[in-house]
Structure 1
Amino acid sequence: MCKELSGWRNSAEMPWLKGGPIHPLQQSLKDLERAYTNFFAKRADFPRFKKKGQRDSLRYPDPKQIKLDQGNGRIFLPKLGWLRYRNSRDALGAVKNVTVSQSGGRWFVSIQTQREVEVPAPSGGAVGIDMGVARFATLSDGSYLAPRNSFKAHQVALRKAQRTLSHNTKFSNNGKKAKARIQKIQARIANVRRDDLHKASATISQNHALVVLEDLQVGNMSRSAKGSVEQPGRNVRAKAGLNRSILDQGWFEFRRQLDYKLAWRGAHLVTVPPRNTSRTSPECGHVAAGNRRSQSRFACVECGFEANADHVGAINVLRAGHARLACKVSGAARPPAAGTRRSDSVAAVSCT
């Protein structure tokens, strides 16, 4: 297709291709190849056609054609010339490629650089984290992070803007203005959520050498309960509200940020199965559904131990993480489940 691209650029049917630089066009073909590879490997759905106004971006892969003047806040790109930009932080190292993207009516330039850095020694101890809705993240030391609920805070404004768009004529000037207003609100929701996740992940990665998380399947947890005509679902409205709350937290993005930020600091991220983490007593190891009396209250029916349910889950997550690491060191085939009974210490749990 790269060979065909030269003919398309010089043809009379597609003269608009010649107005753009050649390298971003070739990068689009690379993105298409990657999309088909992910589809056949069953990592993604079938590739969809691009649409103007959605995820508009172009990538410049040749650093020889890029000139960066950070002192004056400008960058030179082929066919575009010198462009002014607002510098969010210094670009350290050698420039490798540049990606220009559009989001919420604004254009952004992302500069990828390469440099060698020394991996620092991690500071702090180990911590287990239990993810939730009422509490975004509860740590095994008893502290917790409150949820930001970015979508919930802007839900009313978004609903009004969408209602206004539905009353406008399609492709009219007022319709374009209403659509731009919706995009601005959605960009605001995403920016608030992303900012909160970056602050939380940075704080945790800076103060801990080992972080243990539950391996939550967010897609399965937020699946619709609507059902079908033959078998309609139950409590669909309540489940839809729970799904919105789960997706509003950004659990997977939080895990992704923790993963690379811990690696920057020489620390480690370990994931464990979430089964029975909130139903296991950290005192006696008894597992029962009745141990969790409510969303926030844990009371063991065996030994009477009481605590916050999310805090109990974080403690069990941390112990399961230690057990998993012990299994990897000893070469065991499989780590113990969260509900495995134990004796006086976690080290006494055998890997089965």
Structure 2
Amino acid sequence: MSRFAGCTRWVYNQGLAWNEERRAADPAFHLSYSKLCTELLVWKEQNPWLKKTHSQVLQQSLKDLMGGFQKFLKGLSAFPKKHKKFVTTDSFRFPQGFKIDEGRRQIYLPSIGWVKYKRSRFIQGKAKNVTVSRQADGWYVSIQTEYEMEPPKHAGDSVGIDMGCVRFCTLSDGTFFEPCGALKKQLKKLAWMQRRLARMQKFGKNWRKQKPRLQGFISISPMSVVISSKRSR
């Protein structure tokens, strides 16, 4: 999966750089998805390791790039930026070819195979695409579905919820909940981990083990996940 995410990031950055080169040579050049797909074939011949990644995954990366350009031209977002390792979330998407076995809690990803997953909810409707992304504590799969939904009917005592900073949340009836103070509780442990790393020999064996834990990329319960997920637990 790391290879898929890396190839996806490389193709996205390559498409962005290729567009800048063409625009510099010809200001009247207009980028299109078909032109990017044509260049993708050239990149595969120049870099055979790209062929090990499913073609649909790479094509979806180019579609994301085109979507970024279209949003920029409409004034909805900034100009697309280069995706950086450990900064941009690693992810890739399958528009088709995947299979889901809810009974066995397994999902089939083309060129990867059957993978077990922990189900957070049952799937409703027809699955349209699957996105695999890496968070600090592991890999997550998001399944986009399509189904008919009836307009919600609110009955009984309904209240509005306002999430805040001073207070965790305030209800429309005046009830409020104090913040859990997740950041303050975890900062002490985070500072201890940073001091421990500072005392280690740089690039030593223990240093290489401690640094990923601090960054939150390898540890089973990384600090970044603990702090960020407190409000949702």
TM exceeding 0.5: yes
Structure 2 segments unaligned to the other structure (5+ residues): 1-35, 217-221
Per-residue deviation, residues 250-282 of structure 1 (Å, max 9, x unmatched): xxxxxxxxxxxxxxxxxxxxxxxxxxxxxxxxx
Q: Which runs of 5+ in 1 are unaligned?
A: 196-352
Out of 111, 114, 118, the residue aligned to residue 143 of structure 2 is 111
Q: In the alignment, is residue 56 of structure 1 matched against residue 90 of structure 2? A: yes
Name the counterpart of 1:189.
227
2:190 partner letter: L
Equivalent-residue separation in structure 1 for 2:48 and 2:203 (angstroms):
26
Q: Secondary structure at the match of 1:152?
A: helix
Q: 132-141 vs 182-191, which deviates more? A: 132-141
Using the alignment, how far apart are the partners of 1:102 and 1:10 within structure 2?
A: 28
Q: What's 2:51 paired with?
A: 18
User: Contact 1:58 / 1:99 at 8 angstroms: preserved in 2?
Assistant: yes
From the superposition, tell whether residues 130 and 173 of structure 1 become closer, same or farther in structure 2 (CA, over 3 Å): same
**Structure 2 equivalent of residue 146 of structure 1:** 178
Q: Which residue of 1 aligns with 2:104?
A: 72
Match of 1:92 among 108, 114, 124: 124
Does residue 120 (structure 1) correspond to residue 152 (structure 2)? The answer is yes
TM-score, L = length of structure 2: 0.71
User: For the residues of structure 2 that align with 1:52 and 1:135, how far apart are their CA atoms?
Assistant: 35
Q: Cα RMSD over matched residues? A: 2.5
Conserved in 2, the CA contact under 8 Å of 1:99 and 1:111?
yes
1:59–1:97 CA contact under 8 A, matched in 2: yes
**SS at 1:7 equivalent:** helix
Q: Describe the SS at the equivalent of 2:140.
A: strand
What is the aligned-residue identity percentage?
A: 42
Q: Distance in 2 between matches of 1:16 and 1:167?
A: 40
> For the residues of structure 2 that align with 1:172 and 1:47, how far apart are their CA atoms?
37
Distance 1:77 1:133, change over 3 A: closer
Read off the aligned partner of 1:89 and give its amino acid letter.
Answer: R
Contact 2:183–2:227 (CA under 8 A) maintained in structure 1? yes
Q: CA deviation at 1:20?
A: 0.5
- For residue 210 of structure 2, give the secondary structure of its aligned residue in structure 1: helix
1:169 and 1:15 mapped to 2: Cα distance? 39
2:137 and 2:225 in contact (8 A); partners too: no
Residue matched to 1:174: 206
Q: Distance in 2 between matches of 1:53 and 1:6?
A: 27
Query: Do the aligned residues in 2 keep the contact of 1:105 with 1:180 (CA within 8 Å)?
Result: no
CA distance 1:131–1:50, shift in 2 (3 Å)? closer
Name 1:209's counterpart in structure 2. Answer: none
Pair 1:35-2:99 in alignment: no
List per-residue Cα deviations over 1:136-187 (Å, max 9, x = no partner): 3333422112212322221111222233344556655434422332211101
Name the SS for the 1:83 alignment partner: strand
After superposition, the Cα gap between the structure-2 partners of 1:37 and 1:177, relative to the gap in structure 1 and judged at 3 Å, is farther
Relative to structure 1, is the Cα distance of residues 10 and 178 closer, same or farther in structure 2, using a 3 angstrom cutoff?
Answer: same
User: Could you say if the C-alpha distance between residues 131 and 70 of structure 1 is closer, same or farther in structure 2, counting changes exceeding 3 Å?
Assistant: closer
**Structure number, greater radius of gyration:** 1
| AA at the equivalent of 1:69 | D
- Aligned equivalents of 2:71 and 2:153: distance in 1? 36
| Mean Cα deviation higher: 125-134 or 97-106 | 125-134
Amino acid in structure 2 at the alignment position of 1:193:
R
Residue 125 of structure 1 and its aligned partner are, at CA, apart by 5.6
Q: Residue 142 of structure 2 aligns to a residue in which SS? A: strand
Q: 1:5 aligns with which of 35, 40, 56?
A: 40
